[in-house]
Amino acid sequence: MKIRNQNTIPSKYVLLILVIVCGILLGAERFLDGGGPLSWIANYTIVPMQRGISYAGTWMSDVSDNFATLSDLRKENEQLQERVDQLTIDNTRLNQEQYELERLQELYKLDQNYGDYEKVGAHVIATGGTNWFSTFTIDKGSNDGIREDMNVLAGSGLAGIVTEVGPNYAQVRSVIDDESNLSGMVLSTSDLCIVRGDLTLMEDGRIRFENLPNNDNEIEVGEQVVTSHISSTYLQGLFIGYISEINVDSNNLTRSGYITPAVDFTNLQEVLVITKTKADLTAEDDAQEEGE
């Protein structure tokens, strides 16, 4: 038999040591800023593997999509053609209104346009593996100019916010996560509300809104909710979703209900990261005001 080391430490002391290490890690969290050297190691070991798997998965789903039948494609093409026609008409009308708006904005010296944030595309390479939180990892990090608190879009809607950045990856907390909480605005009436994710609603893919003032403005199901101007981390005017249910609270002062997000969180593959944070914008505004 192999000669075994007789002076090994009893396992309960090992447990004690490890628990103390965990305690130190928990305490060091605020100085390390999300892993510190550990996240650097993960960046060059785990993240490339996740990237590989997710690319392979995307490739495979692309291949299986190629087997869609011709008749389905024709039908879809017809529908899309109709859609294009409709959108062209809308677009012309909106263009006219846009010119008018620009003219009026010039008159009022309001030239901020919230639709034109600079964006950078990224792939979703992994999701947080627990059932309690809804986070995902994207394949761009501080090397690509991603910073904390940057807003993330998917398609036309708000998907989440960057919470942690490594050299080549970034963690995003989605808006349906239980810890997500942001200030929203009903587009048609400009009434403000609080939009918060809720784990109990996550499986239906809905989020809750609260504290909408119960005033004379009539708000119906299907109206759009965007991010408001009072949030400190979310940029103004990003589309969150449509109201799917609205009720007056028992206090008769506020209204609350549910929003169906514009983003389908079950199948996120590509996202757009807005490369300006709200802090940048407000800092710019302050600098301008000081300059004047």
Partner 1 sequence: MKRKVITACFIIVCFLLQSTVFSVLQFASIRPNLMIILTSAFGFMRGRKTGMAVGFASGLLMDVCWGGVLGFYTLIFTVIGYLNGSFKRLFFDEDIKLPLGLIAGSELAYGLTVYVCFFMMRGDFRFGHYLIHVVMPELVYTILVTIILYQVILHINRKLEAEEQRSASRFV
**Residues making contact with partner 1 (CB under 8 A):** 1-2, 11, 14-15, 18-19, 21-26, 28-29, 32, 34-35, 38-39, 41-42, 46-47, 49-50, 53-54, 57, 125-133, 135, 137, 163-164, 171, 173, 178, 199-200, 202-203, 266
Instruction: Tell me how far, at minimum, the Cβ of 161 lies from partner 1, in Å.
Output: 12
Instruction: Tell me how far, at minimum, the Cβ of 121 lies from partner 1, in Å.
Output: 20
Q: Residue 47 or residue 263: which is nearer to partner 1 going by CB? A: 47
Q: Residue 42 or residue 187: which is nearer to partner 1 going by CB? A: 42
Instruction: Tell me how far, at minimum, the Cβ of 117 lies from partner 1, in Å.
Output: 24
Q: Residue 176 or residue 193: which is nearer to partner 1 going by CB? A: 176
Q: Residue 167 or residue 237: which is nearer to partner 1 going by CB? A: 167
Q: Residue 21 or residue 110: which is nearer to partner 1 going by CB? A: 21
DSSP the chain: -PPPPTTPPPHHHHHHHHHHHHHHHHHHHHHHTTTTHHHHHHHHHHHHHHHHHHHHHHHHHHHHHTT--HHHHHHHHHHHHHHHHHHHHHHHHHHHHHHHHHHHHHHHT----TT---EEEEEEEEE-S-SS--EEEES--GGGT--TT-EEEETTEEEEEEEEE-SS-EEEEETTSTT-EEEEEETTT--EEEEE--HHHHTTT-EEEEEEE-SS----TT-EEEE-TT-SSSPTT-EEEEEEEEEE-TTSSEEEEEEEESS-GGG--EEEEES--HHHHHHHHHHHHHH-
Instruction: Tell me how far, at minimum, the Cβ of 273 lies from partner 1, in Å.
Output: 16
